[in-house]
Amino acid sequence: MMNVTGKAYMSFQQRDWGSLWAIRSPPKAKHLLWRIAKGCLPTRMRLQEKRVSCPLLCPLCNQHNEDDWHVLFGCATSSQARQSACLEQVILPRLQRFSSATDVIFDICSNESQETAGSFAMLVWVLWNNRNNCVWNDMNESGSCLGIKARHLWAE
């Protein structure tokens, strides 16, 4: 796109996608953020919307329905993980300002350093991986272990 002076510019939405892909993180973590932002992460709520018969409750806490927000921010496991990953001060203020996981993701990718956003992406990847291990392998790690694991994986 061109503006009136003839200089190229991107729309707001395109800049957001660019900020997501520019973070310092492995491709698998960026891809997971993209899937969440596109609304195609197969949480139990989303699967039910698509008429897939499955339980609605979070497999980790069995207390709340599993959607993007709960997996990433609402579950006790995710809360413990963000604290031990030293990302509480980055994530918590956004939980008070935004109501969707997509908005939190784009705000972190757009306004934090590439390193902080990359660390956040690894935390998200570790949380989703733990959720899948719980569902498919009946294995579940504590939130504090997940936060430490996310820090180590990002450092590598």
Q: What are 44-86's pLDDT values in tens digits? A: 999 999 999 999 999 999 999 999 999 999 999 999 999 999 9
86-140 pLDDT per residue, tens: 999 999 999 999 999 999 999 999 999 999 999 999 999 999 999 999 999 999 9
CA dist 123 and 147 (Å) reads: 7
CA dist 145 and 152 (Å) reads: 11
CA dist 48 and 124 (Å) reads: 22
The answer to whether residue 118 sits within a structural domain is yes
Domain that holds residue 52: 22-155
What's the pTM value of the predicted model, to 2 decimals?
0.89
Q: Bigger pLDDT: 94 or 3?
A: 94
24-34 pLDDT per residue, tens: 999 999 999 99
In angstroms, what is the C-alpha Rg of the chain? 16
CA dist 46 and 73 (Å) reads: 17
In this prediction, residue 156 carries a pLDDT of 84
The answer to whether residue 4 sits within a structural domain is no
The answer to whether residue 70 sits within a structural domain is yes
- Please count the structural domains in the chain: 1
The answer to whether residue 13 sits within a structural domain is no
CA dist 126 and 148 (Å) reads: 10
Distance of CA 48 to the CA centre of its chain: 21
CA dist 11 and 5 (Å) reads: 16
In this prediction, residue 14 carries a pLDDT of 47
